[in-house]
Amino acid sequence: MFAKPQAEHAWLDQLIGDWTFDHDCQMPDGNTSTASGNMTCRSLGGLWLVCESSGDAPDSGPWSSIMTLGFDPVKDQYVGTFVGSMMANLWLYHGILDANQKRLVLETLGPSFDGSGTCNYRDTIEITDGDHWLMTSSLQADDGEWVPFMTGKHTRG
């Protein structure tokens, strides 16, 4: 019944610790925004990464979020969730590591920015070194192209 951590779980351990971040957003409608804050990532039994973030956005005020990430050996993919105080949607992730094992590409379905339904989203975690990583969020346009709208730079400490 009790699962044992695997190499895929250990990959997530790179994110354990305390981080500061700056996010720059360029929304599809042309609006821009920034956010900065702190994130604490911890391991839950070696199987799950739990990341709790909080910050303050100049336009909308304080916010907080929780992201969970793990690896499902039956599905042979990473899985997770994201919830935030600024939205009512539960984001369900599934994804894989790229070939060089520096980028975890997570895909999910969520509400479209224009409120007309849902669209595909992609959040990519890219490890740049032991003390830095990037989060890039993109949405899939009607033509199938992925359009980046948020870049977040995370620094340990």
Q: What is the pTM of this model?
A: 0.93
Residue ranges per structural domain of the chain: 19-26+33-156
> What is the distance, to the nearest Å, from the Cα of residue 43 to the centroid of all Cα atoms in its chain?
16
CATH numeric code, 19-26+33-156: 2.40.128.20
| pLDDT (tens digit per residue) in 78-102 | 999 999 998 999 999 999 999 999 9
Q: Averaged over 52-64, what is the pLDDT?
A: 87
Helix (H, G, I), strand (E, B) or coil at 75: coil
Statement: residue 121 has pLDDT above 90: yes
Asked if residue 73 has pLDDT above 80, the reply is: yes
pLDDT at 1 over 80: no
d(CA 3, CA 48): 11
Predicted pLDDT at 114: 81
Give whole-number Cα distances, 1 to 4, 7, 138, in Å: 10, 19, 37
What average pLDDT does range 27-49 have in this prediction?
92
Element at 127 (helix H, strand E): strand 118-129
Closest to 25 measured CA to CA, from 86, 69, 79, 80: 86
Alpha carbons 41 and 113: distance in angstroms, whole number? 28
Confidence of residue 29 (pLDDT cuts 50, 70, 90): confident
**What one-letter code names the amino acid at 146?**
W
